[in-house]
Amino acid sequence: MIKSKKWGIQDKHIGFFLALPGLMVFCIIILYPLINGIFMSFTDKSLMRVESNFIGLRNYRELFTNSDFISLLINTFIFVLFTTAFSFLLGFVWAIILNTKFRLAEFLRGITLVNWIFPGVAIGYLWIWIFHGEYGLINGVLRILNITDRNINWIGQTTTAMMVVILARIWSLLPFNMAFILGGLQGISMDQLEAAHIDGAGNIRTFLWIIVPEMKNIITLILILGSISNLQAFDIIYVMTAGGPARATTTFSIEVYRNAFKYYNFGYAATIGVIWALLLGIISIVYVKQIKESEE
C-alpha cells in the first residue's frame, strides 16, 4: 500500500479527494436546492412579504383539495402519454424507412436531425403560425380543400389546444427518437434477418420476433427518457398557450411557474414542485433499474 510519510494519506483516501470537487458541486447545485424546496413547501414564503412562517401541511392540504389538482394530473398524464408514445412510434417508423438503402436516405436523415438543434421557443412559435386562428397554414389548407369555410381557433379552444401542443412536442422529439432507434437497427445482424426470411418469416414476424427483442433495452430506455423529458417540458407549452385556454394545457411545469412568478407564492409552488419531483423520481428509479439490468 502506498502511503505518504509526510501527510499520512493512504491510497484509499485519494478517490475521496478526487471526487470531492464534484461532490461539492452536486451539493450546491442539486442537493441544497432540493432540500430548500422541500422545506419551503412547509412555509408560506412569498415575494409579497418579507417574513415567512412555518405552516406545516397546509399547502399540501390546499393542493390536494383544490378542484384544479385533478385536471392538473390529467393534463400532465395526457401530455406525457401521447407525446412519449407517438414520438416513439413515428420515430420508429421513420428510422425503419431511413434504414433501408435508397438514394435520398442520407439526405433525409440529415434534414431530420436539423430539427434537433431548434430551441423549444422557436418550435413553439412555428406551430403557432401553423395553427393560427386567423392566418394559420392549417386553416388555409382546409379552406382550399373546401373542408371548412371558416377559420378554426385551434389554440384558443379547450378542445383542440392540448392536441396542438402535443403535435408540436412530438415534432421536436422526432429526431431524438429516430437517431437512437436507427442506431439500434443498424446494430442488428443482417444474418439473423436473412435467416428468418429463409425460414419463411414475413416482415411482421421478423419485426416482432427479431427486431423488437434485439432492441428491447433501447426501446425501454427511449420510453423512460422520453417520459422524464416530457414530464419536465415547459418552453413549448408556455410559448404556445401559457397553460390556457382555461387551464386546458396546464401541466406541472406551468403550474409551478405560474404560482412562483405570477402569484409570487413560493411556498405553494414548492409544494407542487415536490409532487412533481416525486413523479420524476419514480420514473428515474425505473430508469436506473433498467440501466443496471442492461449492464448485467
d(CA 232, CA 71): 17
* pLDDT at residue 296, as a whole number: 64
* pLDDT at residue 190, as a whole number: 75
* pLDDT at residue 196, as a whole number: 75
Domains and CATH numbers, the chain: 68-295 (1.10.3720.10)
Contacts of 112 (CB under 8 A, 6+ apart): 94, 98, 174, 175, 178
* pLDDT at residue 174, as a whole number: 92
Contacts of 55 (CB under 8 A, 6+ apart): 42, 43, 44, 267
d(CA 150, CA 234): 31
d(CA 126, CA 10): 59
Nearest alpha-carbon partner for 151 in 167, 163, 135, 165: 135
Q: What is the DSSP secondary-structure string of 9-67?
A: -BHHHHHHHHHHHHHHHHIIIIIHHHHHHHHHTTB---TT-S---B-TTHHHHHHHH-H
Average pLDDT, the chain: 88
* pLDDT at residue 89, as a whole number: 94
Contacts of 87 (CB under 8 A, 6+ apart): 169, 170, 173, 174, 176, 177, 226
Which pLDDT tens digit goes with each residue over 148-161? 888 899 999 999 99
- With a cut of 70, list the residues of the chain below it in pLDDT: 1-12, 294-296
Instruction: Report helix, strand or coil for 143.
Output: helix
